[in-house]
Amino acid sequence: MRVVLVLEYDGSNFCGWQSQSNACSIQNKLELALSRIADEKIRVIAAGRTDAGVHALYQVVHFDTTARRPLTAWTRGVNTYLPKGIAVLWANEISTQFHARFSAQTRRYQYLLLNHAIRPGILYHKVGWFHQPLDFERMRTAAQILLGEHDFSAFRAAECQAKSPVRTLTQLDIAHRGNMLIFELSANAFLHHMVRNIIGCLVYVGKGRYPPDWLRVLLENGDRSAAAPTFSASGLYLADIKYSPDWNLPRMAGRLNIVDEYRFF
């Protein structure tokens, strides 16, 4: 039997999604909890791996098991064995043709950036931070250059294992509420550190170090060393993953707009 789960997590206290030998990852914690409920060893496959410190509002995983349990066992039951920063929101049985990673059509990330002279306190680990004033319109102009299908070599980590650097970025919107900048990025898939590297480059444009057209130069040259440093993981959220409606996954299992949690900005 194949089971699909939707979960959310605060990545602050974990070493990322992927299983580690010291059992510090979200995958480690989830597999341990699932194995206790199933009374057998469970291995999960996720729609996407998140780095240390990155959060998720809508992560999708699947696993196979011989255990027969009520669906509530895979939600409330599993949650009793999970750390407080991780919660399964929804579970269902699904065809073995479904694959959390390969059946996904698009992924959406949000990045929250506090642009204020004073660093955050209560939102530490929940938002990125930049202390100098940023030119919002320059950043929006630069963002439009990245839309479409491109070779994103200049925006991938050196350790990225993707076979191809070509991705199709369908959304890169920037809005602001007071001192908070809100980035929305959607693509068919993302390279390792791609979102954080894009944010870093947009910040360089916003503070006036480079003109907006610099991003076009980076795309054409594909030189990671010429781009901005990788930005902080703290403000990054895996916000949504879209699948064919045929799979009947819930569309509102998580809080799909984390900005709504921070209305006081």
Q: Give residue 165's domain range.
A: 105-238
Q: How far is 145 from 135, CA to CA, in rounded Å? A: 17
Q: Give the SS3 label for residue 41.
A: coil
Crossing angle (nearest 10°) for helices 194-206 and 136-145: 140
> Considering the domain boundaries, does residue 259 fall inside one?
no
Clarify whether residues 208 and 159 are in a common domain.
yes
Q: How far is 63 from 89, CA to CA, in rounded Å? A: 16
Amino acid identity, position 239: A
Q: Give the SS3 label for residue 84.
A: coil
Q: Which of 7, 45, 5, 3 is nearest to 255 (CA)?
A: 7
Clarify whether residues 111 and 64 are in a common domain.
no
> Considering the domain boundaries, does residue 257 fall inside one?
no
- Binding-site residue positions: 109
Clarify whether residues 192 and 220 are in a common domain.
yes
Q: What is the mean pLDDT of each run of 10 residues along the chain (265 residues)?
A: 96 92 93 97 96 95 97 97 96 97 96 96 94 96 97 93 94 93 95 96 97 97 95 95 94 56 48
Last-in-domain residue among 79, 102, 125:
102
Clarify whether residues 86 and 122 are in a common domain.
no
Q: How far is 92 from 263, CA to CA, in rounded Å? A: 33
Residue whose pair of structure tokens reads 């059992």 in the numeric block: 23
Q: How far is 57 from 42, CA to CA, in rounded Å? A: 23
Number of domains in the chain: 2
Residue 20, pLDDT score: 84
Last-in-domain residue among 69, 84, 102:
102
> Considering the domain boundaries, does residue 160 fall inside one?
yes
Clarify whether residues 171 and 67 are in a common domain.
no
Cα angle, residue 214 at apex, residues 224 and 178 outer, rounded to 5°: 100
CATH of the domain at 71: 3.30.70.580
Clarify whether residues 116 and 183 are in a common domain.
yes
Q: How far is 259 from 76, CA to CA, in rounded Å? A: 26
Is residue 51 part of the annotated active site? The answer reads yes
> Considering the domain boundaries, does residue 152 fall inside one?
yes
Q: Enter the DSSP assignment of 221.
A: H
Clarify whether residues 64 and 142 are in a common domain.
no
Clarify whether residues 116 and 217 are in a common domain.
yes
> Considering the domain boundaries, does residue 244 fall inside one?
no
Clarify whether residues 112 and 226 are in a common domain.
yes
Residue 254, pLDDT score: 45
> Considering the domain boundaries, does residue 12 fall inside one?
yes
Clarify whether residues 34 and 77 are in a common domain.
yes
Of 51, 64, 151, 260, the catalytic one is 51
Clarify whether residues 161 and 53 are in a common domain.
no
- Does residue 125 contact residue 234 with C-beta atoms inside 8 Å? yes
CA distances from 204 to 27, 92, 139 (A): 34, 44, 9
- Binding-site residue positions for substrate: 109
Clarify whether residues 57 and 116 are in a common domain.
no
> Considering the domain boundaries, does residue 186 fall inside one?
yes
Q: Which of 205, 197, 183, 200 is nearest to 133 (CA)?
A: 205
- Count Cα neighbours of 261 within 13 Å in the Cβ-side half-sphere: 12
Q: Which of 66, 70, 97, 80 is nearest to 29 (CA)?
A: 80
Residue 261, pLDDT score: 56
